[in-house]
Amino acid sequence: MTLLARLRDWERRTRPVDEEFRAAMARRWEGLPDIVKTPGQVLGRHGVGCEGTHGVFPRCNLACTPCYHSRDANKVAVDGPHTIENVRAQMGLLRTLRGPRAHAQLIGGEVSLLDPDDHAETLQVMRDAGREPMSFTHGDVDDDYLERLVLGKDGKKRFDRVSFAAHFDMQMYGRRGIARPPDEKSLDPYRQRFAQQVKRLKQAYGVSSFLAHNMTVTPANLDQVAHVVRSAGRMGYGMLSFQPAAFLGDDRRWHGEYRDTTGDAVWAEIERGAGNRVDFRVFEHGDVRCNRTAYGAFVGERWHPVLDGSDPRDLRVRDAFFEVLGSISFTGPPKREVAAQVARAVAAHPSSVPLALGWAVRAVRRVGARELVRSGVKPVTLVMHSFMDAADVAPAWELMQQGVVSDDPHQRSVQERLQACHYAMAHPEDGSIVPACVQHSVLDPLENAQLRTLLPLVEVRSRRYAER
């Protein structure tokens, strides 16, 4: 490539506005229900939402109560080529319909049941489709597996960065060393161990990482959410995500009055752990009945928001962020490209500079300069995802497929939430993209029953034993 060609390529890659991405966001905004078109809405203004895989490796080697997978999930063999092929098709459809960039979870059952080479190839397939992949795991993983994931057979690193969503809660049974956790605190050493394992990838091989922590909340562990916020928030997890349990998936594992645990009750516990008010209306990801998100950081014992929703000056900073930087993806592209995109965007909007400086001064004053110096900053995003019950989703989705808006207020609210869903899954066989609640409530049972025939676990076991 000539010098002129390289310069042209650099200019193209550092444009702060990607027209294809902007068009994809415009389509996303147009498809949202009016109820979620708020000043803080992120969908359509800084992204199209998150994405996930399905029908690839539903099996898990832990038992959870509840479990959002269908009854047949653990009767399906884990098959690397099947996973790679189907993820490639799903990511291809997402790339076509939702634009060039998005975050996507490699999710099924337990991702570490995949061979490390197959896992790595699948991540690369997702990256090739413009997706920033995150592998979903229970975190009961050996160092050897992680090393084989990030290093090729030649010993060279395959990736500069990996991301994991690690699910820990006391209602997961079979974890090595603590098969039946008595409480959430007893899992802290295991949370810490996984965080250190992933951190070691940077120290040993130069592979950076992002870690999210997931936890299902039921009446049994609601009062322990605050502890998890305080403890896991200091372990290196950049996101703490809590999911109030829903009547979804395998009904044999429903053990409790889950709807006694309301979203407001969970959020109150998150705030108790944060030691501060946590405003989820500054930035909204879809419908707040489904998702609550707050960006901030722990400084010492207290979590502080990036923007104060009660301060009109901070809200102007938010609005300027959408206008100036909304089309820039901060994860995925090389840091030097992102820095160049930001510089070009700010140069085109010089009025954003005093806004940013004013925000920085206010943020330091709120936290305290002395506390900042003494304690440092640990960025942590606080999230709650509220899935809907299968009994509500199925009839609402059936009406949506018929183009019918329900007259029933509750059913119409379910339809609104599905229409605004932040988390979608692709079906290349018919060209559709469906909300995650629909996938788990309506489609997973049939899909996993078919996979049980396509990838029979017993036959795979028999073959392996025959080879020994």
Average pLDDT across the chain, whole number: 94
Q: Are 436 and 425 in contact (CB under 8 A)?
A: yes
* % the chain with pLDDT above 70: 98
pLDDT tens for 67-118 read 887 788 889 999 999 999 999 999 999 999 999 999 999 999 999 999 999 9
Q: H or E segment at 149?
A: helix 143-150
Residue 461 pLDDT > 60, yes or no? no
> Of 100, 126, 122, which Cα lies nearest the Cα of 113?
122
Per-residue confidence band for 466, with pLDDT thresholds at 50, 70 and 90: very low
Tokens of 465: 């034993």
* % the chain with pLDDT above 90: 87
Mean pLDDT of 128-140: 97
The one-letter amino acid code at 414 reads: V
Does any domain span residue 205? yes
Does any domain span residue 24? yes
Enumerate residues 6+ apart whose C-beta is below 8 A from 460. Answer: 77, 79
Q: Are 424 and 433 in contact (CB under 8 A)?
A: yes
Mean pLDDT of 216-242: 97
DSSP-assigned beta bridge partners for residue 162: 209
Does any domain span residue 350? no
Does any domain span residue 105? yes
Tokens of 425: 């899954």
Residue 316 backbone phi and psi in degrees, to 5: -65, -35
Mean pLDDT of 12-25: 92
Query: What pLDDT sits at residue 112?
Result: 98
Per-residue confidence band for 462, with pLDDT thresholds at 50, 70 and 90: very low
155 sits in the region (left: phi over 0; alpha: psi -120 to 50; else beta) called left
Residue 460 pLDDT > 60, yes or no? no
pLDDT tens for 311-349 read 999 999 999 999 999 999 888 788 899 999 999 999 999
Does any domain span residue 5? no
The one-letter amino acid code at 28 reads: R
> Of 53, 50, 131, which Cα lies nearest the Cα of 85?
53
Annotate 64-97 with DSSP letters as a single string: ESS--S-TTGGGB---HHHHHHHHHHHHHHHHHH
Count: domains in the chain? 1
Query: What pLDDT sits at residue 458?
Result: 67
Distance CA 384, CA 280 (A): 10
- CATH number for position 308: 3.20.20
Residue ranges making up the domain that contains 114: 14-313+379-467
Does any domain span residue 52? yes
pLDDT tens for 4-15 read 888 888 998 899
